[in-house]
Structure 1
Amino acid sequence: MRVTVDEDKCCGAGSCVLVAPEVFDQRDEDGIVVLLNAEPGEGQHAAVREAAVVCPGAAIEVSE
């Protein structure tokens, strides 16, 4: 799995951080997503997929 984020689409809702905190974080100054792990382990795949689904800005892209 490979994860990419589009900071321009991110609205700073933080849903991704709640669902997959090992993979996503937010910048302190504006809440924009920070990708911590572009290639998460198998144990995190379900959470990353869920984060992509719940992202209100559709800023997370997952490729297998």
Structure 2
Amino acid sequence: MTHRVSELTVAESAWCKSSYSSGEGGECVEVATCAAAVLVRDSKRPTEARLCFAPEAWAGFLQMTTGH
């Protein structure tokens, strides 16, 4: 099933900032999940473009990058 990012909405409180964020205004990503997708956005530009991944694709990405 394909979704447009604009069709997927999540509460602002659902967004989680990367644990690598220093809190000093560096470049960070935020991630939010919903039943259909995992959304990723730039923390400095939260209202601009977002990336949308199938949950399986995101899980594969995490597995590849963390080695778990």
Normalization by structure 1: what TM-score?
Answer: 0.31
Of structures 1 and 2, the one with the larger relative CO (CA 8 A, separation 6+) is: 1
Q: Of the two, which has the highest radius of gyration?
A: 2
Normalization by structure 2: what TM-score?
Answer: 0.30
